Structure formats: C-alpha cells, structure tokens
Chains A and B, each alone.
Chain A
Amino acid sequence: MEILNAALVDWSRAQFALTAMFHWLFVPLTLGTSFIIAIMETIYVKTGKEIWKRITKFWMTLFAINFAIGVATGIILEFEFGTNWSNYSWFVGDIFGAPLAVEGIMAFFMESTFFAVMFFGWNKVSKKFHLISTWMVAIGSNLSALWILVANAWMQNPVGMKFNPVTARNEMVDFWEVLFSPTAINKFLHTVTSSYVLSAVFVLGVSAWFLLKKRNIALAKRSIVVSSTFGLIMIIVTIFNGDESAREVYRTQPMKFASLEGLYYGAQAAPLVTFGIFDIHKPTMENQNPKVFTNKFEVPKLLSLMATLKPNSYIPGINDFIKGNEQYGIVSYFDRIKMGKEAIGALKVYQKERGKNDSIANAALTTFKENYKYFGYGYYNDPYDLIPNVPLVFYSFHVMVGLGFWFLILFILGLVFVLKDKVQDKRWFLLTALWTIPLAWLASEAGWLVNEMGRQPWVIQDLMPTTTAISNINTTSVMITFFLFAVTFTVLFIAEVRIMLKQIKQLKDGGH
C-alpha cells in the first residue's frame, strides 16, 4: 500500500470537522424552534388570541430563515464520505445505507407536505390541520435527526452487524439492535434535548433584546414564558440523559470516559474534577508523572458514583487501558495490538488462500473471527498513539457541562421574573440572556467535540482508525476544498445572521 501522509489525514479530518461544525450551527435551532413554534401555535388554537398567532408567525419566520440557509449543508458530509473517506464508506456501507435512506424518504415527504402547509396554509386550511402540520414538521425534522444519530452511534458502538471478509463490508444482521442500541438511544435523546435548550436560549435571548429596546413587549414576555418553561424542562431532561450518556460511554468507550475526566490513573472512589488546569507534562512510558493538573477542584467519590452508581467503585484510568489491569479484567492495549495484528494477518491469508487451499483459508478465518474485536488496534505499534487529545476532551466536556448548569439558572430566573411581571425591569438579566445566545452554540459544539475527539483515533470504535478510513487522494485538493467550504459556509452564516437580524429589527410593534 502507498504511504498515506499525515497532512492528508489532518486536512481530511479538518475538512470534515469544519463542515460538520458549520452544519451543526443550523441543525439544533431547527430541531428546537420547530417544537417551540408548535407549542405557541397550540396556545393560539386553544385560546383563540391573535397575539399568539402573531408570535407563532414571527418565530416561524426565523425558523424558516434558519431552515433555508441550513438545509442541505449536511449533504457536503456525504460528498466527503465518497471522496475523502472511501475506505470507511465501503467498510460501513450497508450499515449507513438503511438509516440514511429512511431519513431521505421521511424528510422529503414530511418537509415537502407539512412544511408547505405550515407556511402557505394560514387562512387556507383549518386551524386544526395547520396545527397538526406544524407539529408534524417538528416531529419530522427530529426524526430526520434520529437516523443520522443512529448512524453516528453505530460508529461509537458497532452492534447489530457482521463483517463480511469477502466483500470487506459490514452487513446489518439486526436492524433493531442498531436502532435501539443504548448508545443510539442516549445519543438521540441527549442531542435533541440539548438542541431544544439551545433554541430556548435563542428565543429567550431575542425576546430579551425586544424588552431592552422596549418594543414588542407582549410578544417578548409571552415568548419568555414559553422559552423559559420549555428550556427549563429540557435542560433538566438533558442533565439526566447526559448523566445516563456518561454511563453508556463508561461502558462502551472507557478510554473516552477517562479522557473527559483527565483520569490518567485509575482510582477507587474516584473524585470528579469539576475544574482543572492541565499540567503540560503528559504521562508516558518514560515519564510516569502522576501530576496531571496544576490546579483542580474535585468532589470526592462523585466520578465513581456517576459511572457505576457506586461511590467506592474502581474507575480505570488511561494507564489501566495501556498496561491492562487483570484485577478488573482490562486487556492491555499492548495485547490488543497483538490481537489486532493477528486479525489483519489472518484476513490477508484468508484473502490469498480462499478458493485455493480451503483448510488454510478456514483456519485463517477462525483466527480472524477470534481477534476481530480488536481489529483496528493492529494498525498501531505504540499504545500511546491510541490516547485521544485528553486536555481538549476534558475542557470541551467541562465547558459543555458548566454551560448546561448556567442555562438551568437562566431559565429559572427568566421564568421567575416573567411570572412576577418584573422581567422588563431586570436590565442585567436581559443583557445576560442576550449574550447567552452564542454560549448555547458553544455548549452544543463542545458536546460534539467531546463525542468526536474523545473517540479518537477511532472512526469506528476498536475496528477502524481514522488513518485507515481515508482515501489516498491528493492533499492539495483536500486543502482547496477546505477553504472553499470555509468561504461558502461563512457567507451562508453571515447571510443567516443578517437576514435574521433584519427580520427581528423590522418587526413592527403591536399586540397586547
């Protein structure tokens, strides 16, 4: 095989990260705002008050802007799969095919039918049918997200499939196991509920701006009631399903779990580091430096409790995975590398002898199957290359969690102030709510950083490393498209912000 250079891997990864993160600027707002609009319209239909129709239509316009600018930006990721990540695409083809096909069909029918009724149907269809269409848009867009997240969850925890050594493809053996794997369920719930939180922060922040400008007071206050209530419920749900997600990560991706807490050395009754600054000296084979943090604040036993629901349990650290820990049944990365190399070697022999010498081929196939679990480790020689970027994962995780708790406080304050009819007088709160808008995106993107950087070097957990997944193409072409995307997405993002700001500023005062 030709030598793949590190620059190609890095540029391919950077390009994918850029497009995915830009795409994610639009998606969570669509997911959450669609439900907020549906709630507002439900209030309109129930009460018959015109102000709620006005409120619904206003947020619907902002929803449409975001949807229009963001729609199809995810397709770029599929282009990249085919061009830059061909080994990966081939390897996973059948797993991704079904969920993405369902997503495409569902999204097309839901969106072309109910989306049109939602926007064109005011005064043309009955109030009830219009309301049903709005709810269907919300449900449909969230179901679209389900399939993508199921595909992503499979990469983190590949279940319900079988590798075919003749075609080099994974074939789905149990669709339901793929769909309902605990990883998929947790991922879907945590992603969508955190997106609802982001949308609630957006609605709250924009409403705060109206109050600061002393315009559209009725619209703003009612929007704060809906967004704070919805946001408060959703941030509580997000905290709980985030906690469950952490346990799932502990079970299926323990290296990622250790990384997000900066746990280099396993510990009984492990404390949770709520705040920490990394020491620059990373522990290695040669440098067994036990000082991981220069400064930290930790809560005793909380990490053990969080991971296992037992405060005194042992939580393995990064070192336990590298060197193994017999007492806790952890196979060392040194051994996994050996087994991975066995699997790769056996696959090669099987390919060569298949149809020529059946006994050798069958023996090779048996060896391959026995060691397939650690197939991806065989591409490495140094176990320390299998450690993700721990500081990045740690900081991203803590930013996400910290901001999550800040949103909880913000929604409580918003709800209390608006119910006491004092929100318009709390200038400090209104300014804070407004400036929290970008923080909602920061938290959301940080969550994806934890998810994707924490699982490195794997593109498919334990089976395929990122370096094996890429196509052997020209690095320059990847660099060119990286910058083309950067420009295109930046233009789209600026367009979205400008059009939205114009719509917000243009909204005429009115309503009671």
Chain B
Amino acid sequence: MTKLFRKVFFFYYEGFRNMTVGKRLWLIIAIKLFIMFAIFKVFFFPNFLKTRFHNDHQRSEYVLEQLTTPNHKN
C-alpha cells in the first residue's frame, strides 16, 4: 500500500516538476483562484440569505414574504 502511495506521489511530483507551459498555467490558476475565493467571495459575494437570517425557517418566511408581495415590482 505504501509503495502504491509513493508511486502515485512521485507520479504527480515529477509531472509537476517537468512541466514547461504548465508552470505558468498553474501560476495563473493560483492567482485566479485567490482573486475569486479570497477577494470576490469574501468581500463582494456574501450569501444574502445565510448572512441575514439564522435558520431555514426565517429564510423561508422571508422568501415567502417576497413572493407574496408582488405589487411593487411590475
């Protein structure tokens, strides 16, 4: 089992080490994921219902209130 894990580990390790174009691509992926998750998600995209309400019951009540009071919309 340990042998298998070592084999798999070195397969990935050597693969990453020997990459040419891939190194730059991984850098792009890392920067992109950082921007998306550490900046966009944290600072600009809070989950509206999760941050405003404590439980699903409150969320249901809120959405039902939104759905059943349509007069201002159209």
Contact A381 B28 (CB under 8 A): no
Interface residues in A341-368 (C-beta closer than 8 Å to B): 344-345, 347-348, 351
- Select which of B15, B18, B63 is within 8 A of A91 by beta carbon: B63
A90-B59 in contact given A3-B72, A347-B64, A385-B74 (Cβ < 8 Å): yes
Question: Which residue of chain B has the shortest Cβ distance to A61 in the bound complex?
Answer: B21
Contact A468 B67 (CB under 8 A): yes
Cα(A480)–Cα(B60), bound, Å:
29
Q: Could you tell me which B residues sit within 8 Å of A by CB distance? A: 11-12, 14-16, 18-19, 21-22, 24-26, 28-29, 32-33, 35-36, 40-41, 44-50, 56, 59-60, 63-70, 72-74
Q: When the two chains form their complex, are residues B15 and A116 in contact, meaning their CB atoms are under 8 A apart?
A: yes
Contact B22 A119 (CB under 8 A): yes
* Interface of chain A residues 490 through 512 with chain B (CB within 8 A): 492, 495, 499, 503
**Contacting residues of chain A (49-85) with chain B, CB-CB under 8 angstroms:** 61, 64-65, 68-69, 71-73, 75-76, 79-80, 82-84
Contacts of B49 in A (CB 8 A): 82, 86, 89-90
B63 / chain A contacts, CB cutoff of 8 Å: 86-87, 90-91, 168
Q: Give the residue name and chain of the A residue nearest to B10 (CB).
A: A124
Q: B73 contacts A4, CB within 8 Å?
A: yes
Closest to B25 in A: A68
Given A3-B72, A4-B72, A468-B73, answer yes or no on A82-B48 (Cβ-Cβ < 8 Å). Answer: yes
CA–CA, A3 and B14, complex, Å:
59
CA distance A91 to B64 in the complex (A): 9
> Among A79, A344, A480, which residue has the most Cβ atoms of chain B within 10 A?
A79
Encode contact with B along A160-174: 1 for CB under 8 Å, 0 otherwise.
000000111100000
- Chain A residue with Cβ nearest B69: A1
Smallest Cβ distance from A492 to chain B, in angstroms? 7
Residues of chain B with a CB closer than 8 A to A169's CB: 60
Q: Chain B: interface secondary structure?
A: helix
Further contacts, 4 of them, CB under 8 A, given A347-B68, A348-B69, A351-B68: A72-B29, A84-B48, A120-B15, A344-B68
Contact A82 B25 (CB under 8 A): no
Given contacts A120-B14, A347-B67, A347-B68, contact A75 B60 (CB under 8 A): no
Q: Are B28 and A69 in contact (CB under 8 A)?
A: yes
Q: Let me know if A120 and B66 touch, CB within 8 A.
A: no
CA distance A201 to B10 in the complex (A): 38
- A residues adjacent to B (C-beta < 8 A): 1-4, 61, 64-65, 68-69, 71-73, 75-76, 79-80, 82-84, 86-87, 89-91, 116, 119-121, 124, 166-169, 344-345, 347-348, 351, 378-382, 385, 465, 467-468, 471, 473, 477, 480-481, 484, 488, 492, 495, 499, 503
**Would you mind naming 22 contact pairs between A and B with Cβ atoms under 8 Å apart?**
A1-B65, A3-B72, A61-B21, A64-B25, A75-B36, A82-B46, A82-B49, A83-B46, A87-B67, A90-B63, A91-B63, A91-B67, A119-B19, A121-B15, A168-B64, A168-B67, A347-B68, A351-B64, A382-B74, A467-B74, A468-B70, A495-B28
Q: Please determine whether B70 and A79 come into contact, CB atoms closer than 8 angstroms.
A: no
Which partner residue on chain B sits nearest A165 by CB separation? B64
Task: Check B40–A76 contact: CB distance below 8 A.
Answer: yes
Q: How far is the CB of A1 from chain B (nearest CB, A)?
A: 4
Alpha-carbon gap, A82 to B14, bound state (A): 39
Minimum Cβ distance to chain B for residue A182 (Å): 28
